[in-house]
Amino acid sequence: MNLIRKCFFVLVILGVFYDAFGQEKSEILKLSVIDAQNYALQNNRTIQSAKIDIELAKKKVWETTAMGLPQFNVTANYSHNFVVPQVSFGSYLDTELLPIGVPLTKEDFDNAYKTSPPVSLGVKNNMTFDFTLSQLIFSGEYLVGLQAAKVFKEISEKSYVKTEIQTKESVANSYYIVLVLGENLNVLNESLKIIEQTYEEMVKMNEQGFNEQTDVDQLKISMSNVQTVINSLEGQKDVSVKLLKLQLGIDFSQSIVLTDNLPGIIEQGNLTHISSIDFNVENSIDYQIMSTTEKVSVLNLKRQKTKFLPTISAFYRHEEQTNAPSFNFALKDLIGATVTIPIFSSGQRLSQLQQAKFDLEKTRLSFEDVTQSLILEYEKASTDYQTLLSNYRSNKESMALSKRIYDKTIIKYHEGVSTSFELTQIQNQYLTSESNYYNSILSLLNAKAKLDRILNKYEEVQ
């Protein structure tokens, strides 16, 4: 019984965990346009990679800074001498061997001389430790390199901002595509229901001999065409939803619900002419990146100039040996300085300096080109937006008229006033105007998103 109770308890616990994880997995993510953009800023993989680039740039700045700070190194060397050299200092007079109290003879002196033992000039095994402290005192190239590392970090930060802006625009565009396709599908499904209902009525009328088989076949073709369009749009919507999930940085299996609707976005989007807005090219992130790139080229030129200056460094070294020989001439402590003066490089430094000047000139030309391109991009985007706004209004009116004509034609057809051919024509006209209307909405919203990016309005949305 105890075993059964334990098994039952384990099953209950596993069931609780299964329910918890199942609910978490099936949790639906509800997002508005702004929510989707902010969610992408936290989870989009490209943005996360850009964040890593900033951290890498910070580490690069410290790496460059550390080159000018004190450096302390310890070097250990082990040596083994197969043959230790020796030196002998010959014979020497040992006064203790001389007799005391008697006159000394030549023989006494000869007997008092002894041969000195050999002295080793090294040891068989030894371990040497060198402790070296060095400090860079002056290096023009280092000072400029430190400035360049900070500018490199600035470029990484601006590139991150650009990635954020581009991601917001991409998310908005994908969001709009899903909404437009959804609205289009809703209208087509409603139209399909009407056509199917009319088709069923026509089949019954044909069975009773009130119409021809051609009318029934004609309407069946129209029904089949609408169904084909619906299937195509459903496939496009499925792909668009997956694209949006990819931009959001979530798994394709994650369920999402778009809380904004197309009419609300159009109403809140302030879709008016914007020709009165002043465009300041300096607010563009692309302009700011090019401005920072120019700083890099300027610093590179300065770095090449500093190669003509001397480099000064100082050091202190302390040496310890684990088995020092009897005669050890190595110095334990040593302090010194090194001065490197560039004298002659066969024109190498001068060539590098000239290359840096050309590079700076090219960068400034590119800067001017980017500035003009940004102004042209804004003017084109503004013109395109105004054109698309007019097309949207025109297509909206055309769709409303086509819908009204289509509804009246259906009534006339039921009353026997209109033919199936006329109904099919009006229906195709209505579907065409509907497709044009939703395409114009999508084009207009994408143009608005592009203008928001160019005008740097996305930074205001948080």
Q: Mean pLDDT by 10-residue block, N- to C-terminus, for the chain (462 residues)?
A: 44 44 63 94 94 93 90 92 77 74 74 74 86 93 90 93 93 94 91 86 79 81 89 94 95 92 75 63 92 94 92 92 76 90 90 94 95 93 90 92 90 79 85 90 90 74 42
Judge whether 121 lies within some domain. Answer: no
Q: Tell me what pLDDT residue 16 has.
A: 43
- Asked if residue 115 belongs to a domain, the reply is no
Residue in this structure with the two tokens 């684990």, named with its chain if needed: 322
Q: How far apart are CA 115 and CA 89, in angstroms?
A: 8
Q: What confidence score (pLDDT) does residue 198 get? A: 82
Long-range pairs for 458-462: beta carbons < 8 A, 24 or more residues apart: 458/37, 458/164, 458/165, 458/168, 458/169, 459/161, 459/165, 461/34, 461/37, 461/168, 462/38
Residue 248 domain-assigned? yes
Token output for 272: 């008016």
Interatomic CA distance for residues 172 and 243, integer angstroms: 12
Q: How many domains does the chain have?
A: 1
Asked, for residue 73, whether it belongs to a domain, the answer is no
Q: Is 72 a domain residue? A: no
Q: Which amino acid is at 97?
A: L
Q: Note whether residue 318 is domain-resident.
A: no
Looking at residue 424, its pLDDT comes to 82
Residue 316 domain-assigned (yes or no) = no
Instruction: Please give the pLDDT value at position 151.
Output: 93
Cα gap 165→285, rounded to integer Å: 9
- Residue 33, SS3 per DSSP: helix
- Report d(CA 355, CA 401) in Å as an integer: 67
For residue 37, the enclosing domain spans 24-66+139-307+345-460
Does the residue 396 lie in any domain? Answer: yes
The candidate with the shortest Cα–Cα distance to 258, out of 186, 188, 179, is: 179
Q: Residue 396, by phi and psi: left (phi above 0), alpha (psi -120 to 50) or beta?
A: alpha
The answer to whether the beta carbons of residues 279 and 454 sit under 8 Å apart is yes
Residue 445 belongs to domain with CATH number: 1.20.1600.10
